[in-house]
Amino acid sequence: MSQTTDVVVSAETRARLLRAGAEVFASEGFHGATVREICSKASANIAAINYHFGDKARLYEEVLSHQLGSVLLKYPPTLGTDPSAPPEDRLHAFILSFFLRVLDQSPGAWHGQLMAREMAAPTGALDRIVESILRPLSQTLNSILHEFLGPDAPAPLVSACAASVVGQILFYRHCQPVIHKLNPLLTFERADLERLARHVTDFSLAGIRAMATGGRR
């Protein structure tokens, strides 16, 4: 009569491991995360990771690509902006969607933190991510920039401007702990992100145009 074991039965273990793994990997890193903690958070047995994924490293890779894929579906780089819209608008959509992906605070959204860790400490999973996701993204930005800088703008200049744009965004992700220490009242709600995206867009448009119209000055 007393079947009191509260074992979750509906969602399959594999999916729960992916969720728990994302959370633990994000907050502890690949090295710091333990299979015991992940399995515990997933209400699964210690052997579950080996059974469903082979080993810890394989689970990590699947967590990463799953998080990346779902956040890109949620916030696509164009945010629905028409490809024929003025480049100012497309740049703004690119920047805002980047902010949304990288600082998404929805439950289960660990993509930003995971990627930040992967940058500081590449595990080998990064190579595939670069080719499948980051390179296309970079080319999208480059083609927008060419509309300001002209089709014959030298590649180093375009790369430098792309870095200037992306760097402004990623700063808020990669330096989050410091930012919150220096600026305790800053939050990352949707409205804040839209404000930040507006600033980065305006700041960058001025910078890009200065680069387009010649040198130093």
The item of DNA, its own copies, none sharing an interface with residue 45, based on CB under 5 to 8 Å by kind, is: DNA
51 scored as a contact of its own copies (CB under 8 A): no
> Cα 141 vs. chain centroid, distance in angstroms?
16
The crossing angle, in degrees rounded to 10, of helices 190-212 and 87-102 is 140
> CB-based contacts of 55: which residues, under 8 Å, 6+ apart?
49
Q: Does 117 bind its own copies (CB under 8 A)?
A: yes
Which of its own copies, DNA, none does residue 100 bind to, with CB < 5 to 8 Å depending on kind?
A: none
The Cα–Cα gap between 47 and 35 comes to 9
- The 50-69 contact track toward DNA, x by CB under 7 A, reads xxx--xxx------------
Footprint of its own copies on residues 181-210 (CB under 8 A)? 181-183, 186, 196, 198-200, 202-210
* Size of site (CB under 8 A) for its own copies: 55
Residue 55 engages its own copies in binding (rule: CB under 8 A): no
- The span from the CA of 170 to the CA of 103, in Å, is 9
The count of residues in the chain is 217
Q: Considering the rule CB under 8 A, would residue 57 count as an interface residue with its own copies? A: no
Which of DNA, its own copies, none has residue 199 at its interface (CB below 5 to 8 Å by kind)?
its own copies
CB-nearer residue toward its own copies: 83 or 216: 216
Among 18, 26, 33, 102, binds DNA (CB under 7 A): 33
47 is a contact residue toward its own copies (CB under 8 A): no
Least CB distance from residue 153 to its own copies, whole Å?
A: 13
Query: Does residue 120 bind DNA (CB under 7 A)?
Result: no
The single residue among 36, 128, 135, 195 that binds DNA, judged by CB under 7 A, is 36
Q: Which residues bind DNA (CB under 7 A)?
A: 7, 9, 12-14, 33-36, 44-52, 55-57
